[in-house]
Amino acid sequence: MASTQDIRRRIKSVKNIQQITKAMKMVAAARLRRAQEGALANKPYAEKMQAVLRDVAGSAGDINHPLLEVRPVNKKAYVVLAADKGLAGAYSSNVFKEVITHFSNKSDADLITVGRKARDYFFHRGYNIVTEYAGFTERPTYEHAKHVAMKIMELFTSGEYDEIHMVYTKFISPINVVPTTVKLLPISDIEGEEKQSGGEYIYEPNAGEVLGLLLPQYLETMVYGALLQSAASELGSRMTAMSAATDNADELISKLVLNYNKVRQAGITREINEIVSGAEALK
């Protein structure tokens, strides 16, 4: 049985860890609030961008743009959005499971990783990583999204990949996040829609050129929205994980205190018995 000194040392250690997890929970909660605001603020812009693209596409007639080119799929790439740091529960591992469902073997597709956890996980398992990004998963900016989107467009328009997909985590609530896969390229969700009535527009110099300028921005918006959703999901998962760790520490401390009292009581009882036995022996 552990001594009272060992139990006291362990109680102190658990309390120190609890302070850390509680602080991390508070930090994650503060950052989550900003991340949620960013994700919500970006949503109307993304929806309006999609609506404008559909309107322009309806006016452009036959659309011919490198980002819309549909080719026989010989090679795919997946953009994987995960975390830079751990202590976020199953957030990153759920993303990895979603990615692996699209692979029958490691040569099926190449990867573009965002986040150190994604890079380390797939690198050590022998997947081919063509590009990696790290250091901004908790606080992504539009510039980060622009860099990622430009690389994706370069890989697609050069013909290196015929399809590029993105795996990220959709934020619903801090305890409900859903790994999701979307196709980035070729862009297809602006076609096949009837133009909605809402006014006639004149495009200068013409609708085709306007569409050509909007498509890269639309891709950047899609990547930025996914980065914001992933950031909110990561912080929500970390807040939930640290909250659970803090509660578990409370429970463990209660058990250790109970055990400490039992050991201490047993020691006192043993000492009383020794005193009584000694007194009886002197009679």
Q: How many CB atoms lie within 10 A of CB 2?
A: 13
- Partnered with residue 220 across adjacent β-strands are none
Q: Does 60 have pLDDT greater than 50? A: yes
Residue 200's pLDDT band (cuts 50, 70, 90):
low
Q: Which single residue is written with the structure tokens 């659309």?
A: 63
Mean pLDDT computed over 145-164:
94
pLDDT of residue 273: 80
Query: DSSP letter at 90?
Result: T
In whole angstroms, give the CA distance from residue 54 to residue 52.
5
Concatenating the DSSP letter of every residue in 7-58 gives: HHHHHHHHHHHHHHHHHHHHHHHHHHHHHHHHHHHHHHHHHHHHHHHHHHHH
Angle of the 207-282 helix axis to the 142-157 helix axis, nearest 10: 120
pLDDT, tens digit, for every residue of 102-135? 998 888 899 999 999 999 999 999 999 999 999 9
Cα dihedral 213/46/100/159 (nearest 10): -10
Instruction: Label residue 210 by pLDDT band (50, 70, 90).
Output: confident
Residue 216's nearest CA partner among 43, 71, 40, 49 is: 49
pLDDT tens-digit series, residues 20-44: 999 999 999 999 999 988 888 888 8
Cα distances (Å, whole numbers) of residue 133 to 7, 21, 140: 45, 27, 11
| 3-state SS string for 199-234 | CCCCCCCCHHHHHHHHHHHHHHHHHHHHHHHHHHHH
Other CB atoms closer than 10 Å to residue 116's CB: what's the count? 19
Contact 171, 38 (CB under 8 A): no
- Report the alpha-carbon distance of residue 226 to residue 167 in Å, rounded: 9
DSSP H stretches of helix in 101-206: 116-124, 142-157
Residue type, 207: A
Cβ–Cβ under 8 Å, residues 113 and 132: yes
Q: Are 133 and 142 in contact (CB under 8 A)?
A: no
Residues 5 and 1: their CA atoms lie apart, in Å, by 12
> What's the token pair of residue 209?
């050129």
Q: Tell me: the pLDDT tens digits for 8-22?
A: 999 999 999 999 999
Average pLDDT, stretch 238-248? Answer: 94
